[in-house]
Every structure is written in structure tokens, then in C-alpha cells.
Amino acid sequence: METRVYERIHEGMDVCDVDGDKIGKAGETIGHFFNVDAGFLGSKEYYVPFNAVTEVVDNAVYLNIDKDDLETMGWDRRPDEGAFAAADTTEGDTLRLREEELQARKTSVETGRVHLGKEVVEEERTLEVPVTREEVTIERHPVDRRPSDQPIDATERETIRVPVREERVEVEKQPVVYEEVGVARRVKQETQQVSDSVRREELRVDKDGDGDVRVDPKR
């Protein structure tokens, strides 16, 4: 596979990272590495191993790393003969497959407000108040007959005045506190599902010629 990549990469081809962002231009071949001129007018050079190439399409070479990770790969040093020998004795090259993972970030936002106020409403209420009222009862009962010392005068009017009383109810209104309303907030936790599309790199094997290729299953 490395020989096939080697044959397809030529000087002047665009070199791009895993996201398709351009890194620089392909330069000379040095053993199992090829030079990449990056920066302004090639002010920065990288020496990329062929096993970091994922595909060569048209006039562009695509790598399996992100552009921001270049400085951590150690590719800014020119490989020496020891690196060539190590590459020659390697039994197999490693291709790293990556995938995107979803990460959730929570932000507190205001979704509404509660306003508390007072308003006056009028309603009818009834009180049952016990009251007393005097009544006049006329009692009559016979007595033993006896002589009276007063003659009967047809013009005389004898009157007995009996005052009758009762209680009257007067209504007064007095404001009283009948309820207190407090405001409190509590946190209620629930689970929400968020979905988005993610990308994953999968292995693609191309074969030239009659050689047999066996792909071991993932372990």
C-alpha cells in the first residue's frame, strides 16, 4: 500500500488534513517520508510519513490528522537514515481511524416570569348573630271573689304601660390578614435528548494487481 501511495504523490500537489483544510504543497521524497512546504511561501516544512496518507484524489493528498495537531507529531525534523531503516523493518503501518463524539453544554436561560399582585374583589357574606327580643305575655287567671272598695267609673281608663325591648345588630367591617403568600424557587431535574450527526472514519482498502489482501476483524 505504501508503494502505491509513493507512486501517486508528486511535487506541487496540495496536502490537506483530515477535514480537507489545506496544509501546504508536497515536495521531495525522502525514503518513507515526503516533504510538505507550509506557511507563507514555504516558510515551514514538515516531513510526513507515507503511512499518514489516507487517500490521494485528483491533485490533492489527504492525511489522517488534524491541521492543529501538526506541531505535536514531531514531523518538523528532517528524518535521518535511522528513521529510514526503522521504516524498512516495520512489519505493518498503522492507520488511525477517528470519529466525532457528541458533547453537551448546558446554558441557563430565562424561560418565563411569575408576577404576584393583589386585587380587590367583593362578595356577599352572612353572619348568624344570636339576639334577644322581649315579648309580652298576658296572663289571666281567676281569683276568689271579694268586695272591691273602688266603685266602677265608666269614664276611668286605667292603662298599664309595659316597655318591650329587643337587640339590634350593627355591622362593622374590620380588615384582617387571612393568608400569607411566599415565593420560592426549586430546581427540578429532568433528562433531555439532544441529537446531531457525527462523522466517523472507516477503513477502505484498495487493491492493485493480483495480490491477496486479508482484513482481520476488529478486536
What is the extent of the structural domain holding 24?
2-89
How far, in whole angstroms, is CA 107 from its chain's centroid? 6
Res 207: pLDDT = 75
Res 36: pLDDT = 92
Res 32: pLDDT = 87
Total number of domains in the chain: 1
pLDDT band at 58 (very low <50, low <70, confident <90, very high): confident
Residue 197 domain-assigned (yes or no): no
Higher pLDDT, 201 or 84: 201
Cα distances from 168 to residues 71, 126, 171, in angstroms, run: 101, 16, 10
Cα separation, 160 vs 204, whole angstroms: 129
CATH number at residue 6: 3.90.50.10
Backbone phi, then psi, for 6, in 5-degree steps?
Answer: -55, -40
Residue 175 domain-assigned (yes or no): no
Task: Summarize pLDDT for 116-153 with one digit per residue, the tens.
Answer: 899 999 999 898 989 999 998 988 989 888 888 888 87
Res 219: pLDDT = 63
Three-state SS at 173: coil
Q: How long, in residues, is the chain?
A: 219
Task: Summarize pLDDT for 195-204 with one digit per residue, the tens.
Answer: 888 888 888 8
Residue 153 domain-assigned (yes or no): no
Closest CA to 22 of 76, 61, 73: 61
Long-range (24+ apart) CB contacts under 8 A made by 156-160 are none
Residue 120 domain-assigned (yes or no): no
Residue 213 domain-assigned (yes or no): no
Residue 80 domain-assigned (yes or no): yes
Residue 104 domain-assigned (yes or no): no
Classify the phi-psi angles of 39: left when phi > 0, otherwise alpha if psi is within -120 to 50, otherwise beta: left
Residue 209 domain-assigned (yes or no): no
Task: Summarize pLDDT for 96-115 with one digit per residue, the tens.
Answer: 888 888 888 888 899 898 88
